[in-house]
A = this chain, B = another copy of it.
Amino acid sequence: MSSNELIKIFLSEDVGAPAYKVVRALAERGSASAIELSRHTGLAKSTMSALVAELKDASVIIEPEPSKDARASSRGRPAVQLSLNPQAGTSVGVLPGPDFIGIALVDAAHGIRDERSVEIKPNYSVDQGVEAVAELVQQAYAATGLQRETLLGVGLAMPGPFNHRTGVMLRSTLLPNWVDLDIGAHFAKRFDVPVIADNESNCAAIAEMTWGAALGQQDFLYAKFDEGVGGAVIVDGRVLRGALGAAGEIGHFMVDPDGPLCTCGSRGCLEAMMRWDAIVRPARALFGENITFPQIAGRAQEGDPGCVRLISDAAAAAGRALAGICAVLNPPLIVVGGRYVLAGEVFLRAMQESFDRHFHIRDQTDGGSVTPIVAGTFSNNRDSTLGAVGLVLREKPFTRSA
């Protein structure tokens, strides 16, 4: 019946078409006024006016309830917010974990509609993963009452080094059976929509940019300190991928030439100094064999001196690494995610102090730091699944499976 103009435009190849630009701009932002859209797309507001009317008629965009939030920004006629029709477009984000699979279902207006996960036997194959995802997706649509036909694309957050351009995982301890395969092709067997994949850290950065602490930021450095260490570089609102898709891999940034050996074969990589194992091992000598990293982080926040020291030493290394990176990138903001953040200020403050000591620009105009470091808003796993959704909403797929 309804031919769903939204999907048609969203998946169109005609990148230059005004409708495409507007739909994509709204998919990225969630909502925006006509005048903002006209500025961001470069189209005249007269064009926007006509186009918005047309897209409203076609149920591609809607005017969401103005809500009660303080719209009193400036004077003048208030702008009417627009968003894509959440009934007409939905996206799925997937995190294939080592022993679980998590997904998120988000509508085109950035409404997070469903998040669920299922356990799965380790060392599962790609096809087993695809089946599990298909099952979860069906459940999610059933639970929300959304139409499966409105699916715009599937995003994948890959837990390991992944080449976004070639679509191939380079290596992975978590998903050994997913290496060197065309993962998109496997998903295409079950999903007739574009499948877009990127590494977990890049996804996490996108999640923070779309819903979290980096909302509206066009340039920032994202750092994820979790079991491993990863990151992402956002330039001009886009994820920097690099020649081999390895941009943002701050885990293998060398902090100390004589530091511990890293899995990559170098010495003193940030990851070698910060990975959970490097923290948990010495902690066990003091607190027994069963202590876990989150517990250490928690005890650090409560003030336990040994745990504070372990966390703050790691934070010092992190701050030093970030200072080196910022000497080259000089971003206006650093967003930090991963479960190190569970240690709270113990971790963040030590990192900021170390950063400020090692960053070569110390002149600060006002009170604050030259490069503020803020904690991300998303917990682990959520950042990945939601970021994978963001992948669908932001990245143009190379090929289209009509």
Residues of A within 8 A of B (CB): 16, 42, 170, 219, 231, 233, 235, 240-257, 262, 264-266, 269, 320, 323-325, 327-332, 357-363, 370-371
Which residues of B sit under 8 angstroms from A42, Cβ to Cβ? 16
In the bound complex, do residue A329 and residue B330 qualify as a contact, i.e. CB atoms below 8 Å apart? no
How many copies the complex holds: the figure is: 2
Assess the B233–A329 pair: CB atoms within 8 A: yes
Tell me the smallest distance from the CB of A312 to a CB of chain B, in Å.
16
Give the residue of B231, B241, B253, B327 whose beta carbon is less than 8 angstroms from that of A249.
B327
Q: How far is the CB of A127 from chain B (nearest CB, A)?
A: 26
B170 touching A331 by the CB < 8 A rule? no
Q: Which residues of B contact A266 (CB under 8 A)?
A: 323, 357-360
A243 cross-chain contacts in B, Cβ below 8 A: 219, 330-332, 370-371
> What separation, in Å, do the CA atoms of A357 and B241 have in the docked complex?
22
Nearest CB of chain B from residue A363's CB, rounded to whole Å: 7
In the complex formed, the residue of B with least CB distance to A365 is B244
Interchain nearest-CB distance for A258 vs B (Å): 9
Enumerate chain B residues within 8 angstroms of A357, measured Cβ to Cβ. Answer: 266
| List of B residues within 8 angstroms of A240 by Cβ | 235, 329
Given B245, B252, B254, B370, which contacts A244 in the complex, CB threshold below 8 Å? B370
A323 contacts which chain B residues (CB < 8 A)? Answer: 254, 266
Docked CA distance A6–B332 (Å): 37
Residues of B within 8 A of A262 (CB): 360
Check if B248 sits within 8 Å of A328, measured CB to CB: yes
B contact residues around A264 at 8 Å (CB)? 360
Residue pair A358, B246 in contact (C-beta under 8 Å): no
Q: In whole Å, how far is A123's beta carbon from the nearest beta carbon of chain B?
A: 23
A330/B249 in contact, CB under 8 A: yes
On whether A247 and B329 interact (CB within 8 A), knowing A320-B257, A323-B254, A324-B254, the answer reads yes
Taking A254-B323, A266-B358 as known contacts, 4 extra A-B pairs with beta carbons closer than 8 A to each other, sorted by chain A number, are A233-B328, A244-B330, A246-B361, A266-B357
Q: Which residue of B lies closest to A254 (CB)?
A: B324
| Partner pick for A242 among B231, B248, B330, CB 8 A cutoff | B330
A133 CB to nearest B CB, Å: 29
The answer to whether A170 and B249 touch across the interface, beta carbons within 8 angstroms, is no
What are some 7 contacts across the A-B interface (CB < 8 A)?
A: A240-B329, A243-B371, A247-B329, A249-B330, A254-B327, A256-B257, A265-B362
A107 to B57, CA, bound (A): 53
Q: How far is the CB of A362 from chain B (nearest CB, A)?
A: 7
Determine the distance from Cα of A254 to Cα of B326 in the docked complex, in whole angstroms.
11
Q: How far is the CA of A257 from the CA of B371 in the complex (A)?
A: 21
Q: Are A253 and B330 in contact (CB-based, < 8 A)?
A: no
A248 to chain B, nearest CB (A): 6
Q: A235-B235, A332-B243 are in contact. Are A327 and B360 (CB under 8 A)?
A: no
Report the separation of the CA atoms of residues A254 and B270 in the bound assembly, to the nearest whole angstrom. Answer: 13
Q: Is the beta-carbon distance between A253 and B327 smaller than 8 angstroms? A: yes
Check if B360 sits within 8 Å of A247, measured CB to CB. no
| CA of A327 to CA of B325, assembled, Å | 10
In contact, B361 and A253 (Cβ under 8 angstroms): no
8 residue pairs, one from A and one from B, having the closest CB atoms: A242-B330, A252-B360, A243-B332, A264-B360, A246-B330, A247-B330, A252-B327, A253-B327
Partner of A328, one of B328, B332, B363, B371: B328
The smallest beta-carbon distance between A284 and chain B, in angstroms, is 27
Known: A42-B16, A320-B257. A361 touches B328 (CB 8 A): no
Cβ of A327 and Cβ of B250 under 8 Å apart? yes
Contacts of A359 in B (CB 8 A): 266
CB-CB under 8 A from A362, the residues of chain B are 265
